[in-house]
């Protein structure tokens, strides 16, 4: 396997970061103009390196040896990559780092004995445009029901089907096949390299984490209905303030997660009170709630604790509470055998490392839930910052991570029977 040079990593990451919408950081929502430009650039880069670049109906991109043909007769492959989309005003590394790693490792693996290596670019993971996320990995694995194309829509009411038509017009997705939507490749192993998005590796002075499990999460949309009244004439004791109730609920979620202890987390990431005026007591408020934990029973206990406290707040304050649960993911164990192999390699390469659970969701969890042996590796995030324009990782760590991934890919591909 040819060596991957430092500039191969850093230059391409800088180039990919150019494809963004307006404002600070990187905004690249699935199928938007910046996303399509990045998609075309990655395909062009792959072809310039002698790889084939094949898009599927959902806009996932596969970077592979031209001799390895996609379709029902495709051999089992080792897939390595990450997602192309971003959060709004996010960083330049989340997803992009693993995507560039997949491109470089697929190129370095051409002609290698063993499992063919396919770099993948997942179209959508974040849920920034279409609520729920993981659309890319699910579509790669044939886990999408055709009805979702018409029921999944963004905030502007644009359905997945309509957004796909626009992406196809821009050359960023293949024609929609007949359902059921069969995968183009059969993954025997899936690997994903990612920034940590947290502070642990940097704080402990480590270069690498071997990820052996991923936290699950549950999502709710909450509607609080109080009474909109004149703010100047309604005494405090007679108010049913939806926003005040929401504030108490937000703190109740924070307290419940704190009492559960690490690694439990609960977050309200969105609040929309109405009517939003100086002189009107808020009559309604919408909240988005998320609970996460790495163990299933503990996730259920946290969710029960938070929602129970919210109902108690609503009853005490005399407001009505509606809770609608959205798509979630259970906690997911990754392959113990692959984690052991990666740990052995990290020792051989004399990389300071540790085992770790991921608090963030990733494409890899969908592969694991589909029965594919999977593994993730993390490199440090500077100050633990992610989903922010300030997201950064030292170049040395970025390069080391890709070189580790290339070595692990070679070891696994050569020792896994087709």
Q: What residues form the annotated binding site for Zn(2+)?
A: 83, 94, 126, 194, 387
**In the 8-state DSSP scheme, what is residue 387?**
S
Which residues lie across from 219 on neighbouring strands? 290
CB of 281 closer than 8 Å to CB of 241: yes
Q: Give the separation between CA 101 and CA 13, rounded to whole angstroms.
A: 10
Please enumerate in sequence order all residues whose Cβ is within 8 A of that of 65, keeping only pairs 6 or more positions apart, or say none.
51, 52, 106, 110, 111, 116, 117
Structure tokens at 86: 């971003």
Beta carbons within 8 Å of 72's beta carbon, 6+ residues apart: 182
Binding residues: 83, 94, 126, 194, 387
**What is the helix, strand, coil percentage profile of the chain, to 5?**
35, 25, 40
Q: Are strands 117-122 and 76-83 parallel, antiparallel or unpaired?
A: parallel
Q: For 186, phi and psi rounded to 5 degrees?
A: -110, 100
> Exposed (0-12), middle (13-18) or buried (19+): which is 25, by Cβ within 10 Å?
buried
CB 381 within 8 A of CB 197: yes
């Amino acid at each position: 396997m040819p060596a991957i040079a430092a500039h191969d990593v850093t230059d391409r990451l800088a180039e990919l970061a150019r494809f963004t919408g307006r404002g600070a950081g990187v905004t690249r929502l699935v199928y938007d103009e910046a996303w399509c430009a990045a998609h075309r650039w990655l395909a062009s880069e792959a072809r310039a390196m002698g790889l084939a670049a094949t898009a599927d109906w959902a806009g996932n991109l596969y970077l592979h040896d031209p001799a390895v043909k996609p379709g029902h007769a495709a051999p089992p492959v080792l897939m390595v990559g990450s997602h192309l989309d971003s959060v709004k005003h996010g960083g330049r590394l989340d997803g992009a780092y693993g995507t560039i790693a997949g491109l470089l490792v697929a190129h370095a693996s051409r002609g290698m004995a063993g499992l063919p290596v396919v770099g993948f670019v997942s179209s959508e993971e974040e849920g920034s445009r279409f609520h729920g996320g993981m659309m890319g990995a699910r579509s790669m694995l044939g886990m999408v029901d055709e009805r979702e194309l018409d029921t999944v829509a963004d905030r502007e009411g644009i359905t997945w089907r309509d957004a796909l038509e626009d992406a196809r017009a821009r050359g960023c997705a293949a024609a929609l096949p007949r359902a059921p939507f069969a995968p183009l490749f059969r993954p025997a192993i899936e690997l994903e390299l990612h920034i940590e998005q947290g502070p642990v590796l940097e704080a402990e002075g480590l270069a690498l984490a071997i990820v052996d499990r991923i936290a699950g999460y549950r999502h709710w949309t909450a509607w609080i209905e109080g009474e909109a009244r004149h703010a100047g004439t309604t005494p405090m004791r007679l108010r049913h303030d939806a926003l005040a109730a929401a504030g108490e609920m937000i703190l109740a979620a924070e307290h419940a997660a704190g009492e559960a202890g690490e690694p439990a987390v609960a977050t309200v990431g969105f609040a929309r009170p109405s009517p939003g005026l100086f002189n009107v007591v808020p009559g309604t408020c919408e909240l988005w709630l998320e609970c996460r934990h790495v163990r299933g029973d503990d996730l259920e206990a946290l969710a029960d604790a938070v929602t129970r406290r919210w109902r108690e707040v609503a009853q005490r304050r005399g407001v009505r509470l509606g809770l609608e649960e959205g798509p979630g993911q259970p906690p997911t164990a990754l392959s113990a055998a692959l984690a052991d192999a990666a740990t052995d390699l990290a020792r051989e390469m004399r990389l300071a490392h540790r085992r770790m659970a991921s608090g963030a969701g990733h494409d890899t969890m969908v592969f694991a839930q589909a029965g594919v042996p999977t593994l993730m590796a993390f490199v440090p995030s500077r100050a633990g910052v992610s989903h922010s324009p300030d997201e950064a990782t030292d170049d040395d760590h970025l390069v080391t991570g890709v070189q580790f991934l290339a070595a692990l890919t070679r070891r696994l591909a050569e020792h896994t029977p087709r």
